[in-house]
Structure 1
């Protein structure tokens, strides 16, 4: 697994299995904050408890960035994160990293503690298994879903209508899903699964990300 230094100075890795990097080479940490987390903040403003589902947990940048921003706004907010990641090799890289994310120590401690963390109002539970199978075992609903698999071309099973329908079951009616892809088929599958979609911010890549909210009747 080859290390790659991205343009904001943060580190990602290149997956041999998928022949892609885990993050945008334009800036791994920048993408976590600006493309995944910041578009979701308006949906959890003022909440005292926030539940996050992180699909394609990888190095944990998205979850850590979410903790940073949520706690900046409300230091006493309780945060629960469920992460899904099948590649144990990428998880083993977490302990050696020093990204510019204040709460990243919680991600590192979680990895060292059999993929569990429960301190000071933050709970993290990482399921190390295939997301298609794991999503059926996930319990409860979430305020934020961070959807960050490899590309639809390389990791198509996590971008299907069927998988998005599973995510739809696990999102609160006022919740939000954020992802980096704006591919036409991805957005069509989200719509068929019961989401309304919007453009997310343009960060690094030329195209915007996608923000999806559940359609409620």
Structure 2
């Protein structure tokens, strides 16, 4: 497991299966996690005492760990339950040996527990890691989520976690005020989300744009994107559908 240092000094890995890094090298692993996922999610849910969070997919665990770090750093009273599927069992088993940033130093006991048992629990934090196929996991979940970190590898290499049918699963697991955060801004991805029932917003936490999605309109964070108008202006743009997975195989 050869760590790769990112722009902010935190480390990531390269996936040979998907031919992509787990994080944007130029943004920095922890910077990307906080600005694209944790901060906008907690900005939207700034008054909740308890949050259910779905972290797609666990990977190196930055989204989950940064959530806990953010709560502790800001002395929030928020209790969280985090559910996260991950296909790569060997990766999870190896996390206790990974070189995490100093921000996660106080979370080493949590990292070790997750790496050994795929589960952690105390008075305020519960984390479940599911080893296996994310979509099968979602089909059998009987939980609704306040926050969904949509952070799978890109639709170019991991299309099954960006189709309209996949977002149908997320829609069923969402409350009326759920927020989905994702780095993806491609029109086909946004159309997949929109056709599943989500309303799309654009958000720019730093230099790069990203996507936020909700079930109903809101005026707290992001700029509304009229997907109907976008489709009228770009008549060749289409959502991503499960049928394309068969063609890829």
**CA 1:42 to 1:87, structure 2 compared with 1: closer, same or farther past 3 Å?**
same
**Out of 139, 164, 177, which is 2:180 matched to?**
177
TM-score w.r.t. structure 2 length? 0.80
How far did 1:207 drift?
A: 3.9
Q: Which residue of 2 aligns with 1:155?
A: 158
What is the rounded CA distance, in whole Å, between the counterparts of 2:172 and 2:107 in structure 1? 29
What is the rounded CA distance, in whole Å, between the counterparts of 2:84 and 2:37 in structure 1? 15
Q: Where does structure 2 lack aligned partners over 5 or more consecutive residues?
A: 218-249
How many aligned positions are there? Answer: 214
Q: Which residue of 1 aligns with 2:198?
A: 195
Is 2:94–2:115's contact at 8 Å kept on the other side of the alignment? no
After superposition, residues 98-113 of structure 1 pair within 5 angstroms as 98-102=100-104, 104-105=107-108, 107-113=110-116
**CA 1:196 to 1:188, structure 2 compared with 1: closer, same or farther past 3 Å?**
same
Q: Which residue of 1 aligns with 2:4?
A: 4
What is the rounded CA distance, in whole Å, between the counterparts of 2:10 and 2:94 in structure 1? 13
After superposition, residues 1-217 of structure 1 pair within 5 angstroms as 2-26=2-26, 27-96=28-97, 97-102=99-104, 104-105=107-108, 107-203=110-206, 207-215=208-216
What is the rounded CA distance, in whole Å, between the counterparts of 2:29 and 2:111 in structure 1? 17
TM-score w.r.t. structure 1 length? 0.91
Tell me how large the CA RMSD over aligned residues is.
1.8
Structure 1 or 2: larger helix share? Answer: 2
Larger RCO, structures 1/2 (Cα 8 Å, 6+ apart): 1
**CA 1:173 to 1:72, structure 2 compared with 1: closer, same or farther past 3 Å?**
farther
How far did 1:106 drift?
A: 5.2
Q: Where does structure 1 lack aligned partners over 5 or more consecutive residues?
A: none
What is the rounded CA distance, in whole Å, between the counterparts of 1:196 and 1:106 in structure 2? 38
Is 1:57–1:83's contact at 8 Å kept on the other side of the alignment? yes
How far did 1:113 drift?
A: 4.1
Is 1:10–1:29's contact at 8 Å kept on the other side of the alignment? yes
